Amino acid sequence: MDPLIYLPSYGSGLGHVSRLSVIASDLKSRGYPVRFSSSGEGARYLQEQGFECDICPEIDVGWADGKPSAMKTLLNLPSMTLSFVKQVRFETKNMKAIKPKIVVNDSRLSSVIAASKLEIPCITMLNQVRISLPEGRLKRVAGFGERQGAEVLGRMWSRSDKILVPDLPPPYTICAKNVWDIDVVASKLDYVGFVVKKKEFDKDDLSKVKARFEINGSTRTFFAQISGPDGTRENAIQKVLEVSKKADRDVSFIVSAGNPGGRTEPVKMGNSWYFEWCPIKDELFALADYAIIRGGHSTIAQSVSYGKPMIVLPIENHSEQIGNGKKVSELGLGLCIDSRLETESLLEATEEISSNDKYTSKAQEVAEIAEKHNGPENAVNAVLSSIRQ
């Protein structure tokens, strides 16, 4: 039997586990046994996808009112540190028990430390080295510490044998703000391309989807894929639904609330549709004219891969997502609403992006660049080359 590949993943939201599952599916199809560890929504998603997943202690930043809270994070630092120690112990015990040939983790520093301690080869998938503070008084006071912290974290991540950045190389790197200009880790970063699996569609199936949702060229269709941790989605979903009622009649919206385990049958609302959980998101990314998404790296990568201009709605105070969204705007791929989300600002953004072809042209240009960087294939090849060494 081929050697076991162990895949620990950060469990908040679905972005990390979804891209790691793309790699796992490919490896599994080649006969390699795979096993995950994760927590929260990530663990539930993996189990629903049929993967074996061990539940590890959970650790996350502090949250308040559906957004990251720097103050709450600082206050929770002692308990977070304890949780991190528990994670390291869990991973060390797990690795000793299952004896993997290699550890392939997504943004799980505890597994890097455990693998290094046990001298097991370790590859890290990572799109955020720097932990940025939200703009404001705390950032002005602690800005220097933030920069020093990035170097410290970089040194810890560098205990990985390889660091794969699931993004395009400069100047098209979406996560630029979160990985560039960190000296200690710069030489280890390998930009493999977006780790997004584009589905091969049956023409008849696509025709059925087009007919059901009246995607016929005479309307402009927005696909709103609102993902993120529990408690962060409701406001954005509500604003999109409000905009759908105010938009012109030749504009339609298909909204996915990103609720794993939710109902998969859509509800018709005026000239728009609402999913609790959308099982055909790839088809809708392919067919829609525009995307409305959060600032998560994996969702932006999917939108870019399908050549869709986008409106990015970062979670409020979420510095990583805000950085990603601003890069989308800088590249001309769409618009980013990084301040407090209001119905009018979102309505204006939909009108701007749907009336200006420059966003579509740029999105299709960068999609062609992304096509040349086959992220899933490059990531799998990196894993296999490490196993064979």
CA distance 304 to 307: 5
pLDDT at position 146 is 56
Q: Which of 219, 264, 279 is nearest to 244 (CA)?
A: 219
pTM for the whole structure: 0.88
Residue 2 DSSP SS3: coil
pLDDT at position 142 is 47
Q: Which of 331, 371, 17, 383 is nearest to 194 (CA)?
A: 371
pLDDT at position 227 is 83
**Alpha helices, H only, 158-233:** 176-179, 183-186, 203-212
Q: Are strands 63-64 and 67-68 parallel, antiparallel or unpaired?
A: antiparallel
Q: Which residues pair with 146 in a beta bridge?
A: none
CA distance 187 to 146: 21
Residue 255 DSSP SS3: strand
CATH 3.40.50.150 fits 203-371, yes or no: no
Residues 6+ apart with CB under 8 A from 180: 170, 173
Q: Which residues pair with 8 in a beta bridge?
A: 37
Residues 6+ apart with CB under 8 A from 237: 224, 226, 255, 257
pLDDT at position 355 is 93
Number of helices (H) and strands (E) in the chain: give both, helices first: 16, 16
CA atoms within 13 A on the CB side of 59: 22
pLDDT at position 117 is 96
- What tokens were used for 86? 């528990």
CB 15 within 8 A of CB 229: no
pLDDT at position 133 is 55
Residues 6+ apart with CB under 8 A from 88: 110, 113, 114
pLDDT at position 141 is 46
10-residue stretch averages of pLDDT, the chain, 389 residues long: 88 90 96 95 92 89 61 65 91 96 96 97 93 54 57 88 96 93 87 91 89 87 88 90 91 90 90 92 94 94 96 90 95 93 95 95 97 96 90
**Alpha helices, H only, 49-76:** 70-75
Environment class of residue 301 by beta-carbon count within 10 Å: exposed (0-12), middle (13-18) or buried (19+)?
Answer: buried
Give the CATH fold of the 5-193+373-388 domain. Rossmann fold (3.40.50)
- What tokens were used for 123? 């590859």
Query: How would you classify residue 118: left for phi > 0, otherwise alpha for psi between -120 and 50, otherwise beta?
Result: alpha
Compute the 3-state secondary structure of the chain and give helix, strand, coil in percent, each to the nearest 5: 50, 15, 35
pLDDT at position 180 is 85
- Which residue bears the tokens 């199936």? 205
As annotated, the residues of the chain forming the CATH 3.40.50.2000 domain(s) are: 5-193+373-388, 203-371
Phi and psi angles of residue 150, each rounded to the nearest 5 degrees, phi first = -65, -40
pLDDT in tens, 55-78: 998 876 655 666 665 556 665 667
